[in-house]
Structure 1
């Protein structure tokens, strides 16, 4: 749709953004893969790519949730130290869309935005709630105890268990 001129703006993820940028079909106005740009757009740190679980699942399966958090924290720590060549070796071929260079460029563009330790930034939940409220009036009006809908406790335990990843 972007290439055909059917849309004027897009918010998407890689590799789509890198593909469209490389082909000249897209001009990036604000790149939220860059932390400072994301903070300008969202008015604070914006958490993304995190684990979402209903509380009953967490209550029933705390070991599974902890194992998932451990894996993500360890992966985040590895990614911080890894080079593009290291990353490309472990990514399934089907994710590369037939173009390793596009995947590497997209990864390098987003690498610094990844949490180095799997923790939500302190103001992250507030930023996310405000962003959701900006597009949904019901959310904007809601009174929500943000500490009841997110936790860093699993990531903190993972960091204690795997300080080096």
Structure 2
């Protein structure tokens, strides 16, 4: 009898253990479902440009996954094309220039920068070596062909402003969209453009090969202030304001991931940062990439916040020549927010 009772007790224990195991299994399964990363697609205006380095570096460091996000990065060589993808709803966010948020508000579209990567454009106006004799400054670009990544892109905004400052109207030269990286280098070498605006590491490649020289340098705060009269917040993460209203949790996670990356950029050497990047980013000349990166590190913000004098400078630049912005009332407070980066410890 005692033995029979023991068997029965064991059977009850096994049944209880099994049901507990099933319960734990179900809760683990539910937890796994709850922890599945949210899929977000971010369009980058030229993935290999150092101005947009934080996008790929955040992925390489695993910071998106650490926030429970499943982020797909897509590359589009011109920021204006990335902007169009955002407005069409094909992507949730763009890593591009902040100035698009001002330009778009003037056209009745609301987008907002939520993390600022670059306090300066990181752009350089390069003049082809063969044209350098006749182009000593932007005052000499009359009748010339100037390369930009795309028409309506930030490079075209800045090119037009720099020429205008020197008294040259946009009708007096030709803007030619030539993309970035290798396509920009080819345009200089083939003399399809006399000068053009590009970023690192393309600048260092052209200087090393001797195919171009620096005309206007906006890689540093000093150079940018000299050219534009103030800091010019540029590379940033921006989203549609309507999307932001319904996705504050995702925005906060993105802000945390990117601010961690910006902190990493300020606490690691160019060599350490380059070691995190895929080999195709620096190709056969890693040292050139490292030196270009070293020269670029001061342009990144340490906290993702909008520089206080930044929006006003950008508005001044766009308002000087951009017919969409000129004379329009722009509410700068609707073009960016520090709310999400302010929450990052």
Instruction: Give TM-score scaled by structure 2 length.
Output: 0.44
Q: Which residue of 1 aligns with 2:202?
A: 16
Correspondences of 1:23-62 after superposition (within 5 Å): 23-62=209-248
Output one character per residue of 1:85-143: Cα deviation in whole Å (capped at 9) or x when no partner: 21111112222233212221221111111111111100111111222223412212210
The answer to whether structure 1 residue 124 and structure 2 residue 310 are counterparts is yes
Correspondences of 1:5-154 after superposition (within 5 Å): 5-154=191-340
| Partner SS state of residue 56, structure 1 | helix
The answer to whether structure 1 residue 155 and structure 2 residue 341 are counterparts is yes
| Partner SS state of residue 238, structure 2 | coil
Note closer, same or farther for the CA distance 1:135–1:17 as it changes in structure 2 (3 Å cut).
farther
In 2: Cα distance, 1:31 partner to 1:53 partner: 29
Which structure is larger by alpha-carbon Rg, 1 or 2?
2
Aligned partners of 1:130 and 1:140 also within 8 Å: no
In the alignment of these two chains, the number of paired residues is 159
In 1: Cα distance, 2:318 partner to 2:286 partner: 34
| Partner SS state of residue 138, structure 1 | coil
The structure with the greater share of residues assigned to strand is: 2
Runs of 4+ with >6 A deviation: none
In 2: Cα distance, 1:36 partner to 1:50 partner: 20
In 2: Cα distance, 1:99 partner to 1:125 partner: 37
| Partner SS state of residue 5, structure 1 | coil
| Partner SS state of residue 325, structure 2 | helix
In 2: Cα distance, 1:153 partner to 1:41 partner: 30
In 1: Cα distance, 2:308 partner to 2:266 partner: 20
Aligned partners of 1:58 and 1:65 also within 8 Å: yes
In 1: Cα distance, 2:326 partner to 2:288 partner: 38
Task: Give structure 2 stretches of 5+ with no counterpart.
Answer: 1-186
In 1: Cα distance, 2:264 partner to 2:329 partner: 38
